[in-house]
Structure 1
Amino acid sequence: MAAVPPVCDFGWRAIDAVLPGVDGRSHSILSQAGPNGLVVAFICNHCPYVKAVISRIVCDANDLKAEGIGFVAINSNDADTYPEDSFDQMKLFATTNGFSFPYLHDQRQTVARDYVAVCTPDFFGFNSELGLQYRGRLDASRREAGAPGLRRDLFEAMKQVARTGDGPLDQVASIGCSIKWKDDA
């Protein structure tokens, strides 16, 4: 069953944490911010919603660099129950898909809980002051990639954030697989 996150809580402050990355180094989430903001994306390896749009996520992350927006992806899924989301599989997924941004492992799921992440993918777009300005979808794709030429909701919203500091008032929530929580978490 698909999960849908709540609407944007404008101004909510980004939370920092240091997590291991697939590149073998630990990364601070907030240190990934560009001069105009940051996108924190909760994704995973096995979700059909993520798989359908991963090339678009990588494209948007790359294009947002030119707008002064940093990008970081976090996998918080329970890898014991979903082995395809293991750290070793994350490394392979990042390499296969040409990630140019840190892909971090939230093994204890504390970051996902702090952000109140709901699904994969779940996007949080922050301005230069690290106040939340976007909590919406990548584009209109679902379990299959949408047609070429779809409006790039995340990209357009973050371009606006880069230029004005404010996100669009009208935002369409992301949809995806629910985060796979550990039973004891």
Structure 2
Amino acid sequence: MNREEKNRQTRAKILAGATAEFAMHGYEAASLNTVCLSGGISKGIIYHYFESKDVLYLACLEECFHSLTEYLKEHLTGEAEQEDPLAAYFSARLDFFHTHEDYARIFCGAVIFPPACLQSKIADIRRDFDEVNDNCLRKILRNRKLRSDLTEEEIIRAFRMMQDSLNASYHHPSEDGLDLARHEKDCRTLVNIFLYGILKREE
């Protein structure tokens, strides 16, 4: 095995252990000592590849958001997505989270409990993911008649504000921790209300 491949494998091993630790305990409570013990890696080796806990956390987030974004791009195609983009989006997102539980937890930690000192960097990391969300909304709005006093960009901005409000409501999880399925259901419900309202139209 050449040095480049060994470096790649060591880095991947550190990221896998750190992702599990951040997913389980969150950014604040996560311990690099635990990552060392679980992976049989010295702290010196970790700092050789990642100069700080912050850098390691952001690298884990980057892997998470990249994997999720690429999965959504790959699966948001075909007849189902064309017929009901909203249902297709949440179905793909839940499928990803069900098969990547650590990513599900670290994702929720980043969008619901982002470390204040890293918020701008997290925003940069999730930019492609946010673009996928925006594009999904644009597909729903396409060929629909919008209110004359609202532009598409204003609607997207309001959509993001609504998402932020939902995530803020989860800042105090129950003793059992964050209920991902409930969060996703609430997110889908709010998007549905945002788009279609709550009042039944008279026939």
**TM-score, L = length of structure 1:** 0.23
Q: Would you tell me which structure has more helix in proportion to its own residues?
A: 2
Q: Would you tell me which structure has more strand in proportion to its own residues?
A: 1
**TM-score, L = length of structure 2:** 0.21
Which has the bigger relative contact order, CA under 8 A and spacing at least 6? Answer: 1
